[in-house]
Amino acid sequence: MARVRVPSLVVTFPTTAAAMSCEECCQRRGLGGRMIPVPGEVAAGCGLAWKTAPEARDELAAALAADGVPVEAMTIIELLEFRCYEGTVPS
C-alpha cells in the first residue's frame, strides 16, 4: 500500500454548522466525499472542510446552493490517499 498525492476539491465553510450541513446534504443526495479538517494549504486555523473529487465541483455547488448551505471557498489541492500498487483504493 502506498500513499500518493491526489488532486482533491476542498470546500470550506463560514461555520462548523455549515460544514455539518454539507455532510448531511451530500449523504442525503448520495454525493461522494467526506469531512476532513481544513488543510493548512487552504486556510489557517482550524475547521472542518468537505473533500471530494474535483470533477464533482459543479454538482456539489448546485446541491449546496439548493439546500442553502453557505460556502466560503472551493479549492483544489493535492492530498495524500492510500492506493494499492495496482492503482486501486483499499477495500
Partner 1 sequence: MANTVLTIDARGEACPIPVVRTLKALAALAGPGAVETLVDNEIAVQNLTRMGEGKGCSVTSERLGEKEWRVTVTTSVALGVSEAEAESATCEVPGEPGAPGASTAPRRVVVAITSECMGTGDDVLGRKLMGSFVYSLTQLDELPVTVLLYNGGAHLSCEGSAALDDLRGLAASGVEVLTCGTCLDHYGIADTLAVGEVTNMYVIAQRLTGASLVVRP
C-alpha dist (Å) from residue 23 to 4, 55, 70? 25, 18, 13
Among 42, 71, 77, 79, the residue binding partner 1 under the rule CB under 8 A is 79
Among 20, 31, 53, 63, the residue binding partner 1 under the rule CB under 8 A is 20
Interface with partner 1, residue 42, by CB under 8 A: no
Interface with partner 1, residue 62, by CB under 8 A: no
- Residue 56 DSSP code: G
As measured in angstroms, the least distance from the Cβ of 54 to partner 1 is 18
Contact 18, 69 (CB under 8 A): yes
